[in-house]
Amino acid sequence: MIIPGRLEELSEVRSKIQLFTTGFFDEITVNRIVLSVDEAVSNIIRHGYGGTCGDITLELKRDPQSISITLTDNAPPFNPLSVESPDPETHFDDGKSGGLGIDFFRRMMNAHYERTSSGENRLILSKEIPHENK
Amino acid sequence: MGDAQLKISETEQGGFTILHLDGDIDAHTSPVLKDAIDKVLTRKKINIIFDFAKLNYISSAGIGILNASLNTIKGQKGKMGIAGANKTVHDTLEVMYFSRKVGIFPTIGEAVKIL
């Protein structure tokens, strides 16, 4: 599905991810997955497209073992996995407000980044489904 | 489905300004939070409790604003706390380390008493 690159769309994205994950993960984990995607999409819209127009392609896949969520955009090349993680001991005292979102989805999900052959950014977030929910 | 919404109302209790948040805080709605906080920060004495009882969701956009507020409030010798966070919001505050910086209380009453 295509997501217009506007922050107003974040609520709709969250609803889709909520629907996609409920029943396969507990409530806390569903929220962590929803938040991970929100943070990734917000980052693309705010920093990738930076106020210019741009779409994000969202693909959802689920097999008996795991889920994967793929975000593809045409913003300038950027690998979020190359960003240094904040130090939780000093991050807030330094007055910093950014950097938490990328760090969050890197910790909560298995994250993989690639540049496609057509020059797009592609971020793949995956997570194993707990045995009891398979 | 429509945009996420965030509504904020204000009351006073025990020397604290209580900001009651209703809805979701994300990158789209976080300016609403910032505006509400900025109004309070113009006052002489700043003690704020954020009532999260009707807050469904918060992302790092909201936590960033709360952190900036916390630094300002501390600089002016004021107090800040969060009350009534639900299970998933509380988890987000913990996993994003913010619970190390600000007191999180079950109720507004307890926040007023302890802060």
Residues of B with CB under 8 A from a CB of A: 1-4, 24, 26-28, 57, 59-61, 63-65, 67-68, 70-71, 87-88, 91-92, 95-98, 100-101
Q: By three-state DSSP, how is residue A102 classified?
A: helix
Q: pLDDT tens digits, residue range A105-130?
A: 999 999 999 999 999 999 999 999 99
Degrees to nearest 5, angle at CA B51 with B47 and B53:
170
CA distance A120 to chain B (A): 23
- Check which CATH number belongs to the domain holding A108 and give it: 3.30.565.10
Kindly calculate the radius of gyration of chain B based on its CA atoms and give it in whole angstroms.
13
CA distance A42 to chain B (A): 7
Q: Estimate to the nearest angstrom the gap between the alpha carbon of A5 and the chain centroid.
A: 14
Cα–Cα distance measured from residue B80 to residue B17, given in angstroms and rounded to the nearest whole number: 9
Nearest C-alpha in B relative to A36? B59
- Domain total of chain A: 1
Q: Cβ A7–B26 below 8 Å, yes or no?
A: yes
In chain B, pLDDT over 70 holds for what percent of residues?
A: 98
B24 vs A contacts (CB less than 8 Å): 11
Cα–Cα distance measured from residue A104 to residue A39, given in angstroms and rounded to the nearest whole number: 8
Instruction: Quote the domain boundaries for residue A49.
Output: 2-133
| pLDDT score of A97 | 57
Cα–Cα distance measured from residue A16 to residue A14, given in angstroms and rounded to the nearest whole number: 5
CB-CB contact of A42 with B59 (8 Å): yes
Q: Cβ B67–A97 below 8 Å, yes or no?
A: yes
CB-CB contact of B40 with B49 (8 Å): no
Enter the pTM of the model.
Answer: 0.95
Q: Is the pLDDT of residue B15 over 80?
A: yes
Q: pLDDT tens digits, residue range B17-52?
A: 999 999 999 999 999 999 999 999 998 889 999 999
**How many interface pairs between A and B have CB atoms less than 8 angstroms apart?**
81
CB-CB contact of B18 with B81 (8 Å): no
Q: Kindly report the three-state secondary structure assignment for every residue of chain B.
A: CCCCCEEEEEEEECCEEEEEEEEEECCCCHHHHHHHHHHHHCCCCCEEEEEEEEEEEECHHHHHHHHHHHHHHHHCCCEEEEECCCHHHHHHHHHCCHHHCCEEECCHHHHHHHC
Q: Cβ B4–A32 below 8 Å, yes or no?
A: no
User: B28, B60, B91: which to substitute to probe chain A, counting the most A Cβ within 10 Å?
Assistant: B60
List the domain boundaries for chain B: 6-114
Q: pLDDT tens digits, residue range A51-97?
A: 787 999 999 999 999 999 999 999 999 999 998 888 776 777 665 55
Q: Give the residue from B58, B86, B20, B50 showing the smallest Cα distance to A38.
A: B58
Q: What is the mean pLDDT of chain B?
A: 95
| pLDDT score of A84 | 84
In this complex, which of B4, B95, B97 lies closest to A10 when CB atoms are compared? B4
Q: Is the pLDDT of residue B1 over 60?
A: no
| pLDDT score of A98 | 64
Domain B6-114 has CATH 3.55.40.20: no
